[in-house]
Structure 1
């Protein structure tokens, strides 16, 4: 079996075939856009097998927008590229690179896979990413591999790992330049900006600023199974691992959200209903999500890549409406768009 077909098959495993009518059209696009607009939406951008079939009339897709935690999905793909380049493996101990962890009985057992799945046991404060180096400090709050702890710290730790791996290989240790060279440039994606921390390093938990159309390019790359013109540009097995449910939190793979019931009480888990209402969705849907209900949905079985962007309302984020009808619903949005089974 050809690599691209193998990857697509793994990503779409157990997918329930959707009826031919489950496709966005002008009417469903308008309905979904109205729903998005009613929840601070600024852009809806939909591709059906690569063709634009829905776009916000107000042109919000042309304005760069913060992805917030939607940025995290780039980190897993960056790791898959590094595996293909022989820089690391997902199951190697992070302490092989982070020498600061080698004498710690807990931290010395953390693997790169656990960092990417947020089961490393590291403490985090959502919205307050530490520097790359500072992310290595502090006692663990859970034994590695036992608890899902959503937050920025693991992504920053991966940044430090990759910096050291690149430097040891005699390459530039600029992780964002690496991502651009290995993934973004080959798929033609141009980000408008990428915020940096006080250490000058790009923020990997929340730094990307893109237009909806550019984020959709990343979604199309995912829909194509991590390939460009049929050729894998990241490690196929590592790519497939991004979308495999974790034992600790079935709703999360490696930096991607999945349609399974989660076990964590973090804002993203609470803010999406793709787990609670998974039976209403294609089984192969995957999701990159950010604060304010920034969304990138990829549904390989339907050939759909869907971007939704919105203004971030901090007050609403901290105090979500008690009435469920007033909250953002991923499933209701996708149903209006005819992107469900």
Structure 2
């Protein structure tokens, strides 16, 4: 089984990644200054729009994009330009009010909320995780457990064995390498970030998240525990787009600053460590010289999504849940739906195929 998964990953990534572009050195690149952005009101269906004609996009490519999304079992698809709605499509029985799971695209929500908790002064990402979860939260030797910080959880560098991918109990969080020396996409340590925030705040994770993030920008949605351990976020596609718009505007919603820690925001969406250039704090990054993929210990050369603008950063989830942000073009793009064909945990060849269609449309 593991060999077949490896083959799928290897074939799909090598097939659609053959360029060696991007900065490749993990340098911090700040977002360009964003112009005037529109922010939709809360508790309202109102959302101002741009027409394709106003933007002078290629209307002749619109149907091809729609058909491609439909063929790939998409449920909802949104494009925002400078905050205004350009495309809002729903397929089958999915509607504007239907909730869908974010899968691992929701990791970006957790990364943002950890930043809020640090800004609130209730934790520091350089703190040992055991300061919040107690000694023995892993089954690693104590001296190795004490190496693991919140920062390692944010960057997927905890050093624990990721074979039992989703498990969060101490018996399956076992040592394989010192924290900070190995990058592995591992849900267990990630999920426990929410327990860290809960411990630091003295609140249930969902209550802290709702009060500090969700409700402030007019999102809907809820966290649901799946597989007995994963906390997965469900919401409408519009709420995913709202969160994308918040990040496009560097943590500020209209006139209200939600997250004002400029250093954390920059670190979150830039290369966070020297093991995977294309990973920030739970965000995937384009425009780098190499990347690593979930479930593999292989470094691939080239950009993560060659067809996408180099400054694109993204929340990428299982079965092709996608949130793309492109600061240079003022774009937020959200896709929810079924698996587009590969059954991968995050990045997939669907990303590159979608951007081929988008490039023909957005001109």
The two structures have a TM-score, normalised by structure 2, of: 0.73
Structure 1: gaps spanning 5 or more residues: 1-8, 14-20, 168-172, 319-326
- The aligned counterpart of 2:195 is 160
Q: Distance in 2 between matches of 1:210 and 1:269?
A: 33
Would you say the 8 A contact 2:64–2:357 is kept in 1? yes
Would you say the 8 A contact 2:155–2:282 is kept in 1? yes
Would you say the 8 A contact 1:24–1:337 is kept in 2? no
Q: Distance in 2 between matches of 1:23 and 1:283?
A: 22
Q: Distance in 1 between matches of 2:111 and 2:57?
A: 29
Q: Distance in 1 between matches of 2:294 and 2:354?
A: 22
Q: Distance in 1 between matches of 2:266 and 2:319?
A: 28
* 1:196 match: secondary structure: strand
- The aligned counterpart of 1:118 is 156
Would you say the 8 A contact 1:150–1:266 is kept in 2? yes
How far residue 22 of structure 1 moved from its aligned partner, in angstroms, is: 9.0
| Aligned residue among 213, 222, 241 for 2:238 | 213
* 1:54 match: secondary structure: strand
Q: Kindly provide the CA deviation profile for residues 223-282 of structure 1, in whole angstroms up to 9, marking residues without a partner as x.
A: 010112244322322122111113111111001000135543426999x9993444x432
Q: Distance in 2 between matches of 1:145 and 1:104?
A: 16
| Aligned residue among 305, 308, 315 for 1:288 | 315
- The aligned counterpart of 2:268 is 242
When residues 164 and 144 of structure 1 are mapped into structure 2, their CA distance, relative to the original with a 3 A threshold, is same
How far residue 95 of structure 1 moved from its aligned partner, in angstroms, is: 2.6
Q: Distance in 2 between matches of 1:244 and 1:286?
A: 9
The two structures have a TM-score, normalised by structure 1, of: 0.78
How far residue 331 of structure 1 moved from its aligned partner, in angstroms, is: 2.7
| Aligned residue among 225, 228, 232 for 2:257 | 232
When residues 143 and 269 of structure 1 are mapped into structure 2, their CA distance, relative to the original with a 3 A threshold, is closer
Would you say the 8 A contact 1:76–1:116 is kept in 2? yes
When residues 220 and 136 of structure 1 are mapped into structure 2, their CA distance, relative to the original with a 3 A threshold, is farther
When residues 316 and 277 of structure 1 are mapped into structure 2, their CA distance, relative to the original with a 3 A threshold, is closer
* 1:185 match: secondary structure: helix
Q: Distance in 1 between matches of 2:32 and 2:295?
A: 27
Question: What does residue range 108-147 of structure 1 map to in structure 2 within 5 Å?
Answer: 108-125=146-163, 129-131=166-168, 134=169, 138-147=173-182
When residues 106 and 263 of structure 1 are mapped into structure 2, their CA distance, relative to the original with a 3 A threshold, is farther
Structure 2: gaps spanning 5 or more residues: 1-28, 34-53
Aligned length: 302
Q: Kindly provide the CA deviation profile for residues 275-332 of structure 1, in whole angstroms up to 9, marking residues without a partner as x.
A: 3444x4322211101111110001111111101122137x8427xxxxxxxx843233
Q: Distance in 2 between matches of 1:183 and 1:73?
A: 12
- The aligned counterpart of 2:103 is 68
- The aligned counterpart of 1:302 is 329
When residues 135 and 38 of structure 1 are mapped into structure 2, their CA distance, relative to the original with a 3 A threshold, is farther
Greater displacement, 300-309 / 27-36 = 27-36
Question: What does residue range 1-341 of structure 1 map to in structure 2 within 5 Å?
Answer: 10-12=30-32, 24=57, 26-56=59-89, 58=91, 60=94, 62=96, 63-101=98-136, 104-125=142-163, 129-131=166-168, 134=169, 138-167=173-202, 173-191=203-221, 193-196=222-225, 203-204=230-231, 207-234=232-259, 235-245=261-271, 246-259=273-286, 260-266=288-294, 275-278=303-306, 280-312=307-339, 316-317=342-343, 328-338=349-359
Would you say the 8 A contact 2:278–2:292 is kept in 1? no
- The aligned counterpart of 1:324 is none
Q: Distance in 2 between matches of 1:300 and 1:114?
A: 27
